[in-house]
Structure 1
């Protein structure tokens, strides 16, 4: 390969990496904004003021790491695709009772934590992923403890919640695959495989499958068989 071809290839790889990081930045920011909005809305389903206050506080924690970045994300790569995927996810997994809100928080926070664990945890383009991880970990831990109490008090609700959780997992998997299919640079960044290659497609499918497996394991620990 000539020096000019090498330079062109290196430039292409650099651009792909930049696109992947920009898409990751967009995914994290819009994901945090969505988590904030969802938790705040679900807090209204709380059975008492203490629970409502605590879940609201956890919602604010989701917003804190990214509030200064929201305006710069509006026209970022993948913004429309992520926003549409999140909208579709919530459209097919609406919450109407407090236990469902807890299940949703456990699953979404857990999946976000698992995805962040695949990264190195350092700041990417000024976005501190460690702060984001802490926000999700705290929300997931609190919701899991609350859900354990609900299931202990009313074991019969487990069957209905398991069905709801199964629907959530299926929809989360479908929407994640949809976003990944439209963002090969992001998929390449997460999997370490060349963008658009068969290896990247296979690795992305394995990644999504792993996220679903980890979420299912969390539910099983609670006695909910998805």
Structure 2
């Protein structure tokens, strides 16, 4: 389990920690608006009106999360859009490499891909000040549509078992791309990685701890795939 130690609220006065928090809020905010946009596009591929509405509702939930992150950046006297824009290349690359070919792949991406990202940021949240941690965990809460996704994917597999093999391969591809993105974020963002590994007057993960974190992410992915009726 991740350490329960968190920095006191005063650490926002530390410039390195503050920068790390701003980066985290920025990447989360861009991720939420990007997910909203992606789901809106996926809704166009839905086979019927009910599915279209369910996917559109998922997009609406993502936008609600974005608003909370944007407002917090404003409270911290940061330009949210300028902060977010720095992370555009990461998300554009990820979505370019994982563009779904149909609505089922879009659903699996929303359920598995976003779940992986949420797990990663929850790990980081353990090392944040209480206020920031609460906001991050709140915006990573489920959209309330996971049952719909599970039922839709399992139903499609029942109708055509061949769909299961294709979506299982798709899930593995998503896993690889998502982990690569997470590793890139940690490697390229010094302040954000400092929050994760410690060094701002609070304990973080050592290298072995980071390795265990990625193991936990892999295990959680396997559990999600199993829930969808897919082999990880």
- Mapping of 1:38-187 within 5 angstroms? 38-67=38-67, 69=70, 72-76=79-83, 79-80=85-86, 82-118=87-123, 119=125, 123-124=131-132, 128-134=135-141, 136-187=142-193
Q: Is the 8 A contact 2:33 2:63 kept in 1?
A: yes
Q: Which structure would you say has the larger Rg?
A: 1
Larger relative CO (CA 8 A, sep 6+): 1 or 2? Answer: 2
Deviation string for 1:86-135 (max 9, x for gaps)?
1111111111112111110111231233235432695429x83354233x
SS where residue 144 of structure 2 aligns?
A: helix
Structure 1 residue runs without a partner (length 5+): 1-9
Q: CA deviation at 1:79?
A: 4.2
Deviations 1:59-84 (A, max 9, x none): 011102323728922222x742x321
| Cα distance in 1 for residues equivalent to 2:137 and 2:231 | 31
Aligned to 1:74, the other structure's residue is in SS state helix
Normalized against structure 1, the TM-score is what? 0.79
Which whole-Å deviations, capped at 9, do the CAs of 1:149-202 have from their partners, x for residues lacking one?
Answer: 22222222111111111111111111111111011321232x35338xxx6555
Match of 2:225 in 1: 219
Q: In 2, distance between residues paired with 1:187 and 1:142?
A: 35
206-215 or 94-103, which moves further after superposition?
A: 206-215
Q: Could you tell me which runs of 5 or more consecutive residues in structure 2 were left unpaired when the two chains were aligned.
A: 1-9
Worse overlay, 94-103 or 137-146: 137-146
Size of the aligned set, in residue pairs, is 210
SS of the aligned residue for 1:224 comes to coil
Secondary structure of the residue that 1:65 maps to in structure 2?
A: helix
Aligned match of 1:193 in 198, 207, 215?
Answer: 198
- Match of 1:4? none
Across the aligned residues of Structure 1 and Structure 2, the Cα RMSD in angstroms comes to 3.1
Query: Could you state the TM-score of these two structures normalised by the residue count of structure 2?
Result: 0.77
2:90 counterpart SS class: helix
